Amino acid sequence: MNKELMEALDILEKEKEISKETLFEAIENSLLTACKNHFGKADNVKVEIDRETCDFLCYMEKEVVETREDVEDSVLQIALEDARELSQKAQVGDILNVEVKSREFGRIATQNAKNVILQKIREEERSVIYNQYFEKEKDVVTGVVQRYIGRNISINLGKADAMLTESEQVRGEVFMPTERIKVYVLEVKNTPKGPRINVSRTHPELVKRLFESEVTEIKDGTVEIMSIAREAGSRTKLAVWSHNPNVDAVGACVGLNGARVNAIVEELRGEKIDIVNWDENPGNLIQNALSPAKIVAVFADPDEKTAKVVVPDYQLSLAIGKEGQNARLAARLTGYKIDIKSETQAKDAPGFRYEDYMDDEYDEDEDYIEEYEGGDGEYGGEEEGDAGYDGEYEDGEYGGEEESDAGDAGESEDDGVEQE
């Protein structure tokens, strides 16, 4: 039994996660390579390795010929006289297995055999690492910041390094070496130099995966995140739905005293998170998505994916949000192009009939939205809006004519949670 070889294979299998069968194949190929370097050819060379004892045998299949003068190629043929020394039963025309003593190989042949084994080990190691991280693609992993490479950041994920490019970094976030952060695995590519892993801190799925890991009800499927819209570093809106009528979807995501959502806010460095209830009715969904602004009426066209929204005059800037952010995120969350107008504008706008909206009863108490400011667990009220914006809001776009007399959002609401 070759104990040294067996111990070496056990260590490689444990540390590198490379199967023994793969290592046995590498050893066989290395011996064949050594024979080819030593003898010039290895077509008739066979290698056998006992998988249990790690004992190996390397031999050449030679044809037995009558005399030594008949031997044309000593690698392929052997004289009967020499064959009888190995086997008394040898006859002319027989194929005789002649053992090859690997210890007699030259330095070059030995080095080439070693390189074959090392190359195979490196290839298998890269393959194991690639498969390991390929399974984590589109998932969140924890890494350690190593260093800045230009404007990109190298992050160690354990057995491999990932690259956080400038375009996938949140503006304003600065990381220190050895700092632990969570990142979303965008893509894992297999390259000759090993797996190349691209990660992100701006992807909306990062927030979704963080909620899945933090909120048990989402993990087990009781609560589902139906839609998500994010402007990384600033604000995220989530629409959640509970499959169990006895479970409050928003409350489950918030946690006791905001514990669950605050943990996520802390990981996102203070990014605000708005959680609203999902509704199959587009009008109700849009109304929830525009929270904390109060809505007078909503007219949604499911075919055109457009919606017209009327808000009180003093709520216009709040509905639009700072630099149009609230309306922009609501449009992404719902998938509708949203046209927001104040009551005064709706009455004066051509083709914008105010009567069309009054079919829906205006309720002073709106579906509540809970906004969480980073770290302190404070339930934020509305954000001061931009009074100078009015018009239609689509995925990432806002525009329209200025409204000079729109109300100041800061005077319209009390800080706190609005509940229905």
In this structure, the strands spanning 45-49 and 56-65 are antiparallel
Q: What is the dihedral of CA 396, 399, 404, 406, to 10 degrees?
A: -50
pLDDT band at residue 194 under the 50/70/90 scheme: confident
Cα–Cα distance, 121 to 26 (Å, whole number): 8
pLDDT band at residue 411 under the 50/70/90 scheme: very low
Q: What domains does the chain contain, in order, with CATH numbers?
A: 3-132 (3.30.1480.10), 137-200 (2.40.50.140), 205-411 (3.30.300.20)
Q: For 112-164, write each residue's pLDDT tens digit.
A: 778 888 888 888 888 888 998 999 999 999 999 999 999 999 999 988 999 99
Q: In what order do the strands lie in the sheet with 306-311?
A: 297-301, 306-311, 337-342, 391-393
Is 80 exceeded by the pLDDT of residue 355? no
CA distances from 300 to 229, 326, 328, 350, 396 (A): 19, 18, 16, 18, 19
What pLDDT, on the 0 to 100 scale, is given for residue 28? 83
Cα–Cα distance, 46 to 352 (Å, whole number): 87
What is the DSSP annotation of 126-137?
Answer: HHHHHHHHHTTT
Is 90 exceeded by the pLDDT of residue 186? yes
What pLDDT, on the 0 to 100 scale, is given for residue 51? 81
Q: What is the dihedral of CA 31, 33, 37, 42, to 10 degrees?
A: 90
Query: At CA 101, angle to CA 98 and CA 107, rounded to 5?
Result: 140
- The one-letter amino acid code at 274 reads D
